[in-house]
Amino acid sequence: MRSFAKVFCLSLLSVALLAGSAQARTVNGCQIRASANCPGANLIRANLRGANLRGANLRNADLTGVNLRRANLDGANLSHAKLDLANLVDADLNGANLTSAKLNVANLVDADLVGANLSHADGDNAKLDDANLYRANLYRVELRCAKLNGAVLEDADLRFADLRRASVFCNTQIANTDFTGADLSGATGCSQLVPQGILNVGRCAN
């Protein structure tokens, strides 16, 4: 009987330890959890792969080189955040606020950015291949030399976007996409699409 009780107590202790390890961890004062409130946090090169940061406030946070692969950032506030060189492959950024965020050389391949706000964001040389940007706000976004092949841009707002020398139009879905005033100089495939009236942009000069 005592042996059974001992084993039972050890089992409960193991469960408690596992539950404790599953609790949200803290990185430089920021508790990594849903609805976290970490404006201006220093998360440089943090490994947050698969983290649940749904609805988190990360405004002005420094996430340079962070690993957020397959992380949940649904509805998160990342406005003015630094995400240069970040790994956001297959991340959920549905409805996220990325206004004026820095995304230079960031990897957003297969990321879900449905309804996300990237207005005035800076994403030169970013990888957005196969990303879902349906109804995303990309007003005045800077995506020079970026890659968006296979991306979904249906109903997206790309007015006055800077897409110079970007690789955009290979298997990209662009129905009802607004390119008014966008600069697509040297963008791959642009010169073929504009004469056919597929893009509502004035020029594709090299």
Q: For residue 8, what pLDDT is reported?
A: 42
* CATH 2.160.20.80 is right for the domain spanning 36-206: yes
Q: What stretches in the chain show pLDDT beneath 50?
A: 4-22, 195, 197
State the Cα–Cα distance between residues 108 and 116, nearest whole angstrom: 13
Q: For residue 171, what pLDDT is reported?
A: 83
**127: β partners:** 107, 147
Give the pLDDT confidence of 87-141 residue by residue, as tens digits.
999 999 999 999 999 999 999 999 999 999 999 999 999 999 999 999 999 999 9
Whether 168 and 148 have beta carbons less than 8 Å apart is answered as: yes
| Burial class of 66 by CB neighbour count within 10 A (0 to 12, 13 to 18, 19+) | buried
State the Cα–Cα distance between residues 150 and 133, nearest whole angstrom: 11
Say what the pTM is: 0.84
For residue 40, the Cα-to-chain-centroid distance in whole angstroms is 18
For the chain, the domains span 36-206
